[in-house]
């Protein structure tokens, strides 16, 4: 990777150059297709600004940070670029290697609070059962069908209609 270091309003020291190159090398280990890096370090009063532009095969990544300390600015901008590089690498990987769906163990359903009620079953006609279901605050009614002798359930639907469930064997 070709690194271009520039400074504005201060003298660039060897220690600062080495520190910046060391941090860029950390990013390069994640993505080896970085052609060049342009780094601009500037100082204005108590604001130390670091701007980094990375040129890769398919993207240009850029980061900028301003703090009161030049080393802190370098650290923060490199962290920002590292996240961008990892995101770019993940996108490339996902595009070429779709993720396989891993089967996860079935989670057990939470314990249900089950209440058992006993109800005396009446022998009724369908018309009588429909009327009782409408009157019932729960909106349903169990009954033994007078015509068939089978157990049936009548319930009122949300749209106002009524359904009669008859068993099929």
> How far apart, in whole angstroms, are the C-alpha atoms of residue 140 and residue 157?
9
Return the number of other C-beta atoms located less than 10 Å from residue 43's C-beta: 15
Task: Identify the CATH number of the domain in which residue 139 sits.
Answer: 3.30.505.50
Q: How many domains does the chain have?
A: 2
How does pLDDT run across 98-121, given as a tens digit for each residue?
655 555 566 666 777 777 877 788
Contact 43, 70 (CB under 8 A): yes
CB burial of 51-62 (b: ≥16 within 10 Å; e: otherwise) equals bbbbbbeeeebe
Which among 49, 30, 31, 32 is positioned nearest to 40, based on CA atoms?
49
Does pLDDT of 165 surpass 70?
yes
Contact 124, 146 (CB under 8 A): yes
The pLDDT value given to residue 109: 66
Q: Which residues pair with 144 in a beta bridge?
A: 123, 151
Does 127 share its domain with 80?
no
Task: Identify the CATH number of the domain in which residue 64 sits.
Answer: 3.30.160.100
Does 92 share its domain with 131?
no
What is the band of 94 on the pLDDT scale with cuts at 50, 70, 90?
low
From 96, 112, 140, the end of a domain falls on 96
The pLDDT value given to residue 99: 56
Does 74 share its domain with 137?
no
Does 82 share its domain with 143?
no
Give the DSSP per-residue string, 2-36: EEEEEEESSPPPHHHHHHHHHHHHHHHTT-TTEEE
The pLDDT value given to residue 152: 92
Does 91 share its domain with 12?
yes
Q: What angle do CA 88, 73, 23 make, to 5 degrees?
A: 55
What is the band of 146 on the pLDDT scale with cuts at 50, 70, 90?
very high
| Assigned domain for 75 exists | yes
How does pLDDT run across 8-61, given as a tens digit for each residue?
998 899 999 999 999 998 888 877 778 899 999 999 988 999 999 999 887 898
Of residues 152 and 88, more confidence is placed in: 152
| Assigned domain for 112 exists | no
Q: Which domain holds residue 131?
A: 122-165
Does 23 share its domain with 65?
yes
Mean pLDDT over 137-147 rounds to: 86
Does 76 share its domain with 157?
no
Does 8 share its domain with 88?
yes
Does 9 share its domain with 44?
yes
Q: Describe the crossing of helices 14-28 and 70-96 by its angle, rounded to 10 degrees.
A: 20
């Amino acid at each position: 990777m070709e690194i271009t270091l520039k400074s504005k309003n201060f003298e660039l020291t060897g220690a600062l150059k080495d520190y910046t190159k060391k941090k860029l090398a950390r990013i390069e280990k994640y993505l080896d297709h970085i052609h060049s890096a342009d780094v601009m370090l500037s100082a204005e009063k108590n604001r130390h600004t670091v701007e980094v532009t990375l040129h890769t095969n398919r993207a240009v990544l850029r980061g900028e940070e301003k703090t009161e300390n030049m080393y802190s600015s370098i650290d923060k901008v490199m962290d920002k670029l590292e996240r961008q590089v990892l995101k770019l690498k993940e996108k490339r990987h996902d595009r070429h290697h779709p993720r396989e769906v891993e089967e996860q163990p079935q989670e057990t359903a939470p314990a249900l609070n089950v209440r058992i009620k006993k109800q005396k079953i009446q022998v009724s006609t369908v018309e009588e059962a429909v009327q009782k279901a409408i009157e019932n605050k729960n909106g349903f009614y169990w009954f033994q069908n007078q015509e068939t002798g089978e157990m049936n359930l009548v319930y009122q639907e949300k749209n106002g209609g009524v359904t009669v469930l008859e068993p099929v064997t």
